[in-house]
Structure 1
């Protein structure tokens, strides 16, 4: 997805769909982001221990999912935006070898804040779903 640096609050329309973003779920992504977020739970980096605990493999942690949701919206909104709130629920796990496809739709727009309904789905179903509130900086007036 291309960052839209010139996007402004005035450009946003309720009902607007965000472009899809496909994120390949590599083992490296899952393990490295768990470590980067200081989540040392073995289910995020050790396949045999994850299987002992009932999972088919290691799986993505919530901090990474939250970060990817935020990235998806800020890539769309551009550099004149700031995340205000991310409220997601997790569903199907993100396992290595799959792809999570992010989709979104603008559901409201008020007082410089846009709310986007987001969904990240993989081959097992919805991994993350919820809303993201993003604020746009006031445009400079000449």
Structure 2
């Protein structure tokens, strides 16, 4: 397996003053692989059989194993911090799950800046992750960005 090149410079931090309500984050497609589902469930100590045993997942009414909420939460965090830059501080993540993420699908994360709070340089971002079945995750992420309020 090849690893991405991380030897280059980190992206410049996004500052509070350069962000506007209505800004749209770039889409982030995430291939949902069996390995991603199983490895991240184990890494988050979620040993529920529906995240690693296809037969038992089917017995419980699912078409296959499916991603756990901790992985979805982590991917949402990664999406927003990848856009915001290394100086951003995540203050809150509020998400709800919908359609399951099954192996072989792709979840596409999208986001839009919905509010700015000058008193603390917090930015609210509405996020959504959709797959072939519909909305997998929806919610809001609040981050504090460096820089001055305009």
Q: TM-score, normalized by length of structure 2?
A: 0.88
Q: Does 2:140 match 1:131? A: yes
Runs of 4+ in 1 over 6 A off after TM superposition: none
**Alignment partner, residue 118 of structure 1:** 127
**CA positional deviation for 1:11:** 1.2
Q: Distance in 1 between matches of 2:12 and 2:103?
A: 32
**Does the CA contact (< 8 Å) of 1:69 and 1:118 recur in 2?**
yes
> Which residue of 26, 38, 42 maps to 1:19?
26
> Which residue of 104, 115, 121 maps to 1:97?
104
Pairwise CA RMSD = 1.1
**Alignment partner, residue 46 of structure 1:** 53
Q: Distance in 2 between matches of 1:31 and 1:72?
A: 20
Q: TM-score, normalized by length of structure 1?
A: 0.93
Structure 2: runs of 5+ lacking an equivalent: 1-9
**Alignment partner, residue 4 of structure 2:** none
> Which residue of 15, 35, 42 maps to 1:35?
42
Q: Distance in 2 between matches of 1:81 and 1:101?
A: 22
Q: Distance in 1 between matches of 2:12 and 2:39?
A: 28
Q: Distance in 1 between matches of 2:74 and 2:105?
A: 18
**Does the CA contact (< 8 Å) of 1:90 and 1:129 recur in 2?**
yes
